[in-house]
Chains A and B, each alone.
Chain A
Amino acid sequence: MSLGSIPPKYKVSIDRDQCMDCGRCIENCSYGTFRRDGDKILIQSRKCTACLRCVSMCPRDAISLTENPVDYRSHPLWTRDAREDIIKQARSGKIILAGMGNASNLPSIFDRLLLDACQVTNPSIDPLREPMELRTYIGKKPSKLEFKKTEAGDVELATKLSPNLKLETPIMIGHMSYGAISLNAHLSMAKAAKETGTFMGTGEGGLHRELYPYQGNMIVQVASGRFGVNVDYLERGAAIEIKIGQGAKPGIGGHLPGEKVSAEVSRTRMIPLGSDAISPAPHHDIYSIEDLVQLVRSLKEATEWKKPVFVKIAAVHNVAAIAAGIARSSADAVVIDGSRGGTGAAPKVFRDHVGIPIEGAIASVDQKLREQGTRNEVSIIASGGMRNSADLAKSIALGADAIYIGTAALISMGCRVCGNCYRGLCPWGIATQRQDLVDRLDPEQGARQVSNLIHAWTLELSELMGAAGINSIESMRGNRDRLRGYMLDEGILEVLDVKNAGA
């Protein structure tokens, strides 16, 4: 008995009275949803991914799109997803792939944390009139200052600082590789990072030569596939990041399909044209914490101890202990990627079920490092589903030094979170290598949008801090006293070390 097809996910329709028959929808849809048949535009809804490119390009607002136009019989346990996944697997016998971040409907902890403001007993500070300091240094800090006497008898600072990255705002752009996303997307973000005084990750795909002018604002990544890594690459970065895992798929490697490995991608990654780029699950030279310590040291040796080295891990259950181990190596920052982190493609079962949310991870890592007296040894960079300046402010209040944004940066360039990045047909020119699609994203325009977003969040963060009577980001960091939990259970509040609303 055939399984038949599953019902279409979306239904696209054109209001024929409004339509002016300009054909833009046909041109714009890279998935082939629209097609011309004589003087009529035909629609194949089944091909639609809800990237909304057609909707945003239609001059007449003639296109409408509905999700799940066909309903299943409702059932609380056998949801639509549960049934469709089984049908797909019965047919294919394979792992189900899915894009973007965790899509299970577990409540967000951030949404149940509330920020504080001043009333009467202490004045709030107006960021338009008073200085508001967001400058953040990422890297090792001394835990105390030492002074020495010079021969002349003067007292002089003996403490030497390790190399740190200086950020004008605690928002950085996380690692998304060239290959997974387009050169124009990379260029847009790199320009924005430079303009806003922050940094951007290269991802594991190497550094394209067109990004060399922005290398002072780039963090180069060394992942398990070691794509694009040589000494020249390490030297170019402002910092180096070892990627152990990522929040969207902890414990497994990566896969860039051969279709996305164009000539330029192949040159930058140093792999054959059109070959699949497979990053293994573990680094084959890291089987324990001592091996990581050695890799950190080798990278530092290779770059003459001039660059901070970060280690990125997925937020897994034991994240605090792992971060504590990293803090005892010569690493300068630990990046924790929470379970809501995005990705081009991940097995759905990992995306939705493995790892813990970033809020709990920040809280437990900060706590553990303080208990062990190593909080100054590493900065904490939090990532994984940062949606707005409130998530940013709350991350910092829980104890992070800075955040990485990923999906938010893509959305600012046009992405509509359709979740089909792995197909390489992104109609917004972001997750694709097809030149005609890539050309749709103008790097100047893209850069403006990304930097607008960073500016806007930075302004909002200043306002939130000012309202809380704080004029320097250091006093926001780990200030859990200025957070309250609302509808969070006792257990979570204890992990977060946050009081209940009203307490």
Chain B
Amino acid sequence: MCGIIGVIDKTRSRMDGSKIKAALSLMNERGSGDGAGYAAYGIYPDYADCYALHVFFDNMAEPKTKVEEILHYWGTVVHQEEIPTFEQPGLKRVHTPWRYFFKPFDDMIGGKVGSEKDIIKHIVMEVNSSIDGALVFSSGKNMGVFKASGWPEDVANFYRIEDYEGYIWLAHNRYPTNSPGWWGGAHPFNLLDWSVVHNGEITSYGTNQRYVEGYGYKCTLLTDTEVVAYLFDLLGRQHELHTETVVKALAPPFWDEIDRMPPAKEGLYRTIRMTYGSALMNGPFAIVVASNEGIVGFTDRIKLRPLVVGENGDMLYISSEESAIRVIDPEVKNIRTPRAGEPIIGRFNA
């Protein structure tokens, strides 16, 4: 099951998290109280040029020292603090959420590490695969993920999500089936600017995992969704493909459709499928992915999970349910359900 929401204000006007909380809570039928989370973009304008690293610490001793050893090797911590949280009766605190605003050293770039972002990717993979008791769950610029095990309201109140203002919001209400109800397993999943909320199960996970692991990504979160963030990072950032092309690689048209296309288009789609066969995502899913450029929502190739889209002026809403969209914006227009595999893209106005 699971319920998902993605919202973008294309004018970059920021909205606080209260309506998202209300909308997500409306879909409690789709969750089980085992996990919920929010991602918001534009929330750290004072540190907009730093990578905001959100980390779950099991204790503040050894894991924190080890994480900081890695951070100090690769760059400077501009600021760090505990993420403010507020005890909720229905939510059992198992980690301490912490945030670092971090800048990598430019002179560490070289060889396999081609950019600042490669450094951040390396740090995330290193911490998550080798340090017990520490998990980086958010690592983009001017954005952050807030998640925990619990019902959407409790998680929102735990982080006081209404205190954050963002121009993109993603939210997820979880009914876990394939990984334990641990905090790291809650959505959104994030790497660098990419955040993913996902409803469904990826039956091609083993193939996708083997594929991204060949490029140095390490799947450590015991769930299929993290691989989507890595696929977007690999295809969208490293291979520099447009969002439309990434979606066409992950959920391509059937060969029958490709065969019927005019020659140039046929060549393009055939090449995409042949090149990125291992990135194709199979199984039932509806997904919304956000980055600092916008959001994109799409479903699997035969649409085995629901996805609804609505618009209102510069607002674009994507969700599992129309009713959730109506909670955020009762005036919403153009409600429609996209076709299987069709990318729904919301970008900021130029």
Interface presence of B277 (CB below 8 A): yes
Per-residue interface assignment for chain B, residues 273 to 289, with 1 indicating a CB less than 8 Å from any chain A CB and 0 otherwise: 11111101111100000
A12 to B255, CA, bound (A): 54
The residue from B210, B245, B273 contacting A478, defined by CB atoms under 8 A apart? B210
- Are A145 and B203 touching (Cβ within 8 A)? no
Interface presence of A391 (CB below 8 A): no
- Are A121 and B204 touching (Cβ within 8 A)? no
- Are A145 and B255 touching (Cβ within 8 A)? no
Known: A161-B274, A474-B277, A480-B206. A145 touches B283 (CB 8 A): no
| B residues 266-302 in Cβ contact with A at 8 Å | 267-268, 270-278, 280-284, 301-302
- Chain A contact residues: over half helix, strand or loop, or mixed? loop
The residue from A133, A366, A376 contacting B275, defined by CB atoms under 8 A apart? A376
Interface presence of B205 (CB below 8 A): yes
Interface presence of B213 (CB below 8 A): yes
Among the 9-residue stretches A254-262, A380-388, A465-473, the one with 4 or more Cβ atoms under 8 Å from chain B is A465-473
- Are A157 and B271 touching (Cβ within 8 A)? yes
A164 to B238, CA, bound (A): 26
Minimum CB distance partner of A162 in chain B: B274
Known: A130-B302, A475-B282. A144 touches B275 (CB 8 A): yes
- Are B205 and A481 touching (Cβ within 8 A)? yes
- Are A481 and B206 touching (Cβ within 8 A)? yes
Minimum CB distance partner of B282 in chain A: A475
The residue from A135, A161, A477 contacting B207, defined by CB atoms under 8 A apart? A477
Among the 9-residue stretches A201-209, A230-238, A367-375, the one with 4 or more Cβ atoms under 8 Å from chain B is A367-375
**Distance of A199 from chain B, by nearest CB (Å):** 17
Contacts of A137 in B (CB 8 A): 274
Minimum CB distance partner of B207 in chain A: A479
Contacts of B277 in A (CB 8 A): 141, 474, 477
- Are A145 and B213 touching (Cβ within 8 A)? no
Interface presence of A118 (CB below 8 A): yes
Interface presence of A328 (CB below 8 A): no
Interface presence of B256 (CB below 8 A): yes
Interface presence of A298 (CB below 8 A): no
Minimum CB distance partner of B254 in chain A: A131
Interface presence of A142 (CB below 8 A): yes
Interface presence of A92 (CB below 8 A): no
Per-residue interface assignment for chain A, residues 140 to 166, with 1 indicating a CB less than 8 Å from any chain B CB and 0 otherwise: 011111000000000001010100100
A130 to B284, CA, bound (A): 13
A211 to B36, CA, bound (A): 64
A375 to B268, CA, bound (A): 21
Interface presence of B214 (CB below 8 A): yes
Contacts of A143 in B (CB 8 A): 275
Interface presence of B201 (CB below 8 A): yes
Known: A371-B214, A373-B214, A480-B206. A469 touches B302 (CB 8 A): no
A469 to B207, CA, bound (A): 13
- Are A370 and B210 touching (Cβ within 8 A)? yes
Contacts of B272 in A (CB 8 A): 145
- Are B177 and A479 touching (Cβ within 8 A)? no
Known: A143-B275, A145-B275, A469-B283. A118 touches B214 (CB 8 A): no
Known: A144-B239, A145-B271, A161-B274. A474 touches B280 (CB 8 A): yes
- Are A133 and B206 touching (Cβ within 8 A)? no
- Are B241 and A133 touching (Cβ within 8 A)? no
Minimum CB distance partner of A132 in chain B: B254
Interface presence of B304 (CB below 8 A): yes
- Are B210 and A480 touching (Cβ within 8 A)? yes
Per-residue interface assignment for chain A, residues 392 to 425, with 1 indicating a CB less than 8 Å from any chain B CB and 0 otherwise: 0000010100000000000000000000000000
A468 to B204, CA, bound (A): 9
**Distance of B66 from chain A, by nearest CB (Å):** 27
Known: A121-B178, A370-B214. A481 touches B274 (CB 8 A): no
- Are B206 and A161 touching (Cβ within 8 A)? no
A126 to B178, CA, bound (A): 23
Contacts of B201 in A (CB 8 A): 121-122, 469
A-B pairs with lowest CB-CB distance, top 5: A481-B206, A475-B204, A474-B277, A475-B282, A479-B206
27 contacts between A and B (CB under 8 A): A122-B200, A122-B201, A122-B203, A123-B304, A131-B254, A133-B255, A141-B275, A142-B274, A142-B275, A144-B238, A145-B239, A145-B241, A145-B276, A157-B268, A159-B271, A366-B210, A468-B203, A469-B201, A469-B282, A469-B284, A471-B282, A474-B273, A474-B278, A477-B278, A478-B211, A479-B206, A481-B206
List 15 extra interface pairs beyond A141-B277, A145-B241, A161-B271, CB under 8 A: A130-B302, A141-B275, A144-B239, A145-B275, A468-B203, A469-B282, A469-B284, A472-B301, A474-B273, A474-B277, A477-B278, A478-B206, A479-B206, A481-B209, A482-B203
